[in-house]
Structure 1
Amino acid sequence: MPLSKFVKAAIVAGCLFAAAALTACVLAGTYPAFDIVSNGLPLLAAGLLVLVLASLVLRNSMLIVTSAALLAVTLAVLIPRLSGVAPQAPDGSARLLRVATFNMWGKGDLHLRKVEKFLASTDPDAVVLEEIRWKHGDFLRYLKTLYPYQAGSHGLVILSKHPILKSGRLDRENQPYWRSLIVHWALLDVNGTEVKLVGAHMARPFYPAQQKSDIDTLTAFVRSQTGPIIVAGDLNMTPWTQKLHKFTAETGMRRFNTLVPTWPARWKDLPLLPLLPIDHVFVSPHLAKIDVRIGPRLESDHLPVVADIALVK
């Protein structure tokens, strides 16, 4: 087969794939299972750009129009879903809190030593840890020297240097205790300002009905709150999924990390290139962003997120 015919066939196949993926993204609001495809929208846009350039090289007007139209539709779906970014705090704003969130899915003493070093070097005021297991009991007790206030001991755990006035949890129904936790929250007294820190861990997209139920539960809880509130954790979805876009629209919460990927950082003993930003920090309109950064590899499949947060006066 001549090279030009092979490239043309590849472009046609790519356009058909893109059309099917876009259809799934558009229908994700009605069929939650399709929302897993939405996580790949930026990659789809990049792929379509390549198809447009290849079509231009071939000077095939039909392929140029088709690929360009699909790219335009992809961007029309993607760009509105990028809304909901947290406002930048004015220069010189005092830091109210530094919050870190990290999924502890890892193993071995090296993993725990790296987490300890990371917390000591970044010095967050409060930490949300996901996938804490019974094996982490000694680790949590050791961290009490840095974080004397702790809420939870399994699943989702909140560590704080500031007093915890109240805490609570939201669970899935009809699930065993060790698999039921969706949200663990703590009301912090931050030098006289009460801030509710909400740790969240949503179901994976391979369980779309459960993930939708989880994000709906989180949305309802956040909407019921008043005062400054921070949501941090492994939400298992990118900002441009229909579910997370709906969360920001319905709650007014604003996102710190949009484009920097945090997963997958590792699979078993193999380091990987992170592709998707699924670990997040959100804040209510009472708060603003000073800074956000992604932490180093800590022998987990996720990278940590560290957010510096200011109080809006």
Structure 2
Amino acid sequence: MAGLVRTCVILGLSAIAAFTLLASMGEPAGLSDAFSTFRLHFAFGASAIALMGLWLGRVTAIAGLALAFVNLLAGDHPLSPVVPPANGKPLKVMTFNTLYRVENGDRIISEIARHDPDIVFLQEQVVGKQWIYERLKTRYPFQVYCRRVGECDTAILSRYPWISAEAKKVGRDGASFALARFGAELNNLTVATVHLKWPQYSSQLAQLARAWDHLKDSKGEIILAGDFNAVPWSGTLRTFSANTGLRTTGGLAATWPARHHRTGRPCLWCVPQLQIDHVLVSSGIRVTAAAVGKDLGSDHLPVHVELELPMLVSRTANADQFVATTCGICGAIGH
């Protein structure tokens, strides 16, 4: 019996070591990010084996703890932490993958009414769910989404007027994308939502690069939210964050899988384990609160984030400040 347990422990450690190596293969690739998604699972499994190693031998325990440490260390990632409100303009946003095949529109509307976000980002919004937009038209008169089957599955709803907006697929792999540009009321803010394909099926970096092509010339701050199908420590999000300065918000909070990813029904393994739904923000935006919402019948959970935009300084205010500063300097010279 002891021999069988030892063999199982060695095989388990070997498997976790192999998966950890695959998750660390240089530049982000489909295979690498597909395994890096489960780093916390690897860390948990290695820790469990380390505990068993206390009975089997010191070497086994040390090996298990070392693998757990490596995976936990690799989970570190760029983050915009939650901070107290200052004097900026508050803005509440919500992002949610609604799940194609599920009729959960009433739940979505109730969740929106309960949290009252200023901007809503939706993914997997098929044509059959477009009645939701009409129900929300009074509260969110500014709406952009793909109107025909096969175009895209993303949508943005806003109570603030925007200057321009569009929804479409971007990149060779056809990531769903929607974008809206606001004026002075929101300090020239640009917001976008994206729905990426899983890393083992496509190049997520290439999809994000095409989305960034539409965002990089923005005049103000940027919010990019949606279903990235990537955990915050993935090579894709690390590289994208390093290249653009956008960072994930809040702490670790699993959003998937809340239900079966095809039927939307509860299942034995349907316990949220992975954080793949995100709100990314540029450096000038403060994050004052972040939380995961309730089960709405999708395999994803909604994400609610409260933000604070930098206040818009008018040209007149800038001119007054310049005159005051200049007069102060002149006075100092005169003395």
How far does the alpha carbon of each residue in 1:160-219 deviate from its partner, in whole angstroms, 9 at most, with x for none? 0000111134634567xxxx353211012473522111111111233133x232123234
For the pair 1:74 / 2:68, whether they are aligned, the reply is no
Give me the CA root mean square deviation: 2.2
For the pair 1:266 / 2:263, whether they are aligned, the reply is no
Deviation of residue 221 (structure 1)?
4.2
For the pair shown, the structure with the greater C-alpha radius of gyration is 2
The aligned counterpart of 1:23 is 21
- Residue 99 of structure 1, aligned match among 90, 93, 98: 93
Give the whole-Å Cα distance in 1 for the aligned partners of 2:86 and 2:134: 36
Deviates more, 1:234-243 or 1:187-196: 187-196
The aligned counterpart of 2:241 is 248
The aligned counterpart of 1:36 is 34
- SS of alignment partner, residue 118 of structure 1: helix
Aligned residues of 1:182 and 1:214 also touching (Cα < 8 A): no
- Residue 119 of structure 2, aligned match among 126, 135, 149: 126
Paired letter, 2:309: L
For the pair 1:276 / 2:278, whether they are aligned, the reply is no
Deviation of residue 24 (structure 1)?
0.6
Give the whole-Å Cα distance in 1 for the aligned partners of 2:186 and 2:74: 43
Gaps of 5+ in 2: 148-152, 312-335
Aligned residues of 2:170 and 2:211 also touching (Cα < 8 A): no
- SS of alignment partner, residue 154 of structure 2: strand
Deviates more, 1:9-18 or 1:212-221: 212-221
Aligned residues of 1:32 and 1:212 also touching (Cα < 8 A): no
Give the whole-Å Cα distance in 2 for the aligned partners of 1:30 and 1:128: 26
- Residue 153 of structure 1, aligned match among 146, 155, 169: 146
Aligned residues of 2:188 and 2:219 also touching (Cα < 8 A): no
The aligned counterpart of 1:204 is 198
Aligned residues of 2:119 and 2:158 also touching (Cα < 8 A): yes
Aligned residues of 2:82 and 2:290 also touching (Cα < 8 A): no
Give the whole-Å Cα distance in 1 for the aligned partners of 2:138 and 2:169: 29
Deviation of residue 152 (structure 1)?
1.9
- TM (norm. structure 1) is 0.88
The aligned counterpart of 2:222 is 229
- SS of alignment partner, residue 265 of structure 1: coil
- Residue 301 of structure 1, aligned match among 277, 287, 299: 299
Aligned residues of 2:27 and 2:235 also touching (Cα < 8 A): yes
Aligned residues of 1:101 and 1:127 also touching (Cα < 8 A): yes
Kindly tell me: are residues 225 and 50 of structure 1, through their superposed partners in 2, closer, same or farther at Cα, counting changes over 3 Å?
A: same
- TM (norm. structure 2) is 0.83
Runs of 4+ deviating beyond 6 Å:
none
The aligned counterpart of 1:136 is 129
- Residue 59 of structure 2, aligned match among 50, 58, 62: 62
Aligned residues of 2:250 and 2:289 also touching (Cα < 8 A): no
Aligned residues of 2:228 and 2:278 also touching (Cα < 8 A): yes
Aligned residues of 2:172 and 2:207 also touching (Cα < 8 A): no
Kindly tell me: are residues 125 and 43 of structure 1, through their superposed partners in 2, closer, same or farther at Cα, counting changes over 3 Å?
A: same
For the pair 1:184 / 2:178, whether they are aligned, the reply is yes
Aligned residues of 1:165 and 1:189 also touching (Cα < 8 A): yes
Give the whole-Å Cα distance in 2 for the aligned partners of 1:102 and 1:312: 25
Paired letter, 1:308: E
Kindly tell me: are residues 31 and 283 of structure 1, through their superposed partners in 2, closer, same or farther at Cα, counting changes over 3 Å?
A: closer
Paired letter, 1:62: V
Paired letter, 1:213: A
Give the whole-Å Cα distance in 1 for the aligned partners of 2:172 and 2:249: 33
Kindly tell me: are residues 214 and 23 of structure 1, through their superposed partners in 2, closer, same or farther at Cα, counting changes over 3 Å?
A: same
Gaps of 5+ in 1: none
- SS of alignment partner, residue 199 of structure 2: coil
Deviation of residue 96 (structure 1)?
2.3
Give the structure with the larger strand fraction.
1
Kindly tell me: are residues 257 and 203 of structure 1, through their superposed partners in 2, closer, same or farther at Cα, counting changes over 3 Å?
A: farther
Paired letter, 1:166: S
Kindly tell me: are residues 95 and 224 of structure 1, through their superposed partners in 2, closer, same or farther at Cα, counting changes over 3 Å?
A: closer
Give the whole-Å Cα distance in 2 for the aligned partners of 1:77 and 1:133: 36
Of all paired residues, the percent bearing the same amino acid is 27
Aligned residues of 1:219 and 1:247 also touching (Cα < 8 A): no
Aligned length: 301
